[in-house]
């Protein structure tokens, strides 16, 4: 039996064809990442258990608005001075909003680290700055929606409760801009802080706990320092508190001067009145904090080994 010397197998030259389809480019990549991230915040497109926490907290944020709307609908006469004013609402809803951002921010950025999908994102054409921008925009949009929807419910309900809604709109339309502006600052400020903390680790419990700790510790520490000492330096201690900074910015946009609360009552506005620092300074501090937090996030991804 002789062995064949003929080569076995075949080689086919199929040639090379360049991609001739539409190249959507960098802007489309950023927009796609933003939309996927926004859907992921609320668990859309994922299993049911992923939707329970974000939607549960969203409903909790609406509770004060629903209670007030019910009261307005059932009352024979309405004294709006006894109701939650637009500049006060965020103080009533601050903890549900803070828990929401603490719950979703670590998962928003941590999942990509755990699943090792960052090399795919950063291959091309998406840049690290684009990634940070898309994640920040998605989280801010979600938080802004949760902040503004209750305000819209209250505003609409109050207008419908009076005999002439046109008169109510004429007297209160100036509140629309402060409502949107303060909601936007709340969203940007808290989202940037949450991403700065949440991006440092891919462990959801650790990152979420760190964000909650920031809100709780900074709030308690700032209030304690202001109320326990007359030192000039500690008047500015409230600037470390996310709750106090957002409250100060809200009062500033509404043109409201904080006043001390009645004896035995504590409030964010009372702390701000005791500190006696211009609300404009808090607005500047908020803008600087957002910028620094985003720089921290960007540096985190620049130095991250992929």
* pLDDT tens digits, 181-213: 999 999 999 999 999 999 998 888 899 999 999
Q: Is residue 7 part of a domain?
A: no
Q: Is residue 20 part of a domain?
A: no
Q: Is residue 157 part of a domain?
A: yes
Task: Residue 222: name the closest of 207, 238, 246 by CA.
Answer: 238
CB 238, CB 245: distance < 8 Å: yes
CA gap 153, 157 in Å, rounded = 6
Q: Is residue 104 part of a domain?
A: yes
CA gap 296, 200 in Å, rounded = 10
3-state secondary structure of 306: coil
3-state secondary structure of 122: coil
Q: What is the mean pLDDT of residues 13-28?
A: 75
When pLDDT is cut at 50, 70 and 90, the band that residue 66 belongs to is confident
Q: Is residue 247 part of a domain?
A: yes
pLDDT of residue 75: 67
Q: What is the mean pLDDT of residues 75-94?
A: 75
**Model confidence at 7: pLDDT above 60:** no
Parent domain of 85: 25-302
Q: Is residue 5 part of a domain?
A: no
What's the structural domain count of the chain? 1
Q: Is residue 148 part of a domain?
A: yes
CB 43, CB 54: distance < 8 Å: yes
pLDDT of residue 10: 67
Residue 20 vs residues 16, 42, 77, 165: alpha-carbon distances, Å = 12, 37, 69, 58
> Which pTM does this prediction carry?
0.86
Asked if the bond preceding 125 is cis, omega within 30° of 0, the reply is: yes
**Model confidence at 301: pLDDT above 80:** yes
Q: Is residue 161 part of a domain?
A: yes
CA gap 282, 226 in Å, rounded = 15
pLDDT of residue 11: 66
CA gap 34, 133 in Å, rounded = 8
pLDDT of residue 235: 82
Q: Which two tokens stand for residue 115?
A: 């699943």
């Amino acid at each position: 039996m002789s062995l064949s010397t003929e080569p076995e197998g075949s080689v086919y030259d199929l040639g090379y064809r360049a991609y001739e389809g539409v190249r959507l480019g960098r802007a489309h990549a950023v927009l796609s990442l933003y939309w996927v991230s926004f859907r992921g915040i609320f668990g859309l497109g994922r299993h049911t258990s992923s939707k329970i926490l974000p939607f549960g907290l969203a409903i909790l944020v609406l509770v004060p608005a629903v209670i007030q709307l019910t009261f307005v609908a059932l009352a024979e006469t309405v004294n709006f001075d006894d109701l939650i004013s637009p500049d006060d609402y965020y103080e009533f809803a601050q903890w549900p909003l803070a828990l929401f951002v603490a719950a979703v921010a670590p998962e928003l950025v941590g999942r990509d680290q755990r699943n090792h999908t960052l090399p795919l994102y950063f291959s091309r054409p998406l840049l690290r700055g684009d990634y940070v921008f898309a994640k920040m925009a998605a989280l801010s949009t979600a938080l802004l929606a949760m902040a503004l929807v209750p305000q819209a419910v209250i505003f609409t309900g109050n207008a419908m409760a009076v005999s002439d809604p046109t008169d109510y709109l004429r007297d209160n339309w100036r509140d629309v801009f402060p409502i949107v502006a303060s909601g936007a600052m709340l969203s940007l400020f808290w989202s940037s802080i949450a991403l700065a903390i949440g991006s440092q680790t891919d462990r959801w419990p650790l990152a979420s706990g760190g964000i909650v700790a920031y809100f709780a510790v900074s709030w308690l520490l700032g209030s304690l320092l202001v109320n326990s000492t007359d030192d000039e330096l500690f008047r500015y201690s409230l600037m470390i508190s996310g709750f106090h900074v957002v409250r100060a910015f809200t009062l500033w946009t509404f043109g409201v001067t904080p006043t001390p609360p009645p004896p035995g009552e504590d409030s964010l506005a009372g702390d701000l009145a005791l500190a006696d620092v211009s609300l404009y300074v808090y607005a500047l501090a908020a803008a600087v904090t957002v910028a620094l937090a985003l720089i921290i996030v960007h540096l985190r991804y620049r130095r991250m080994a992929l």
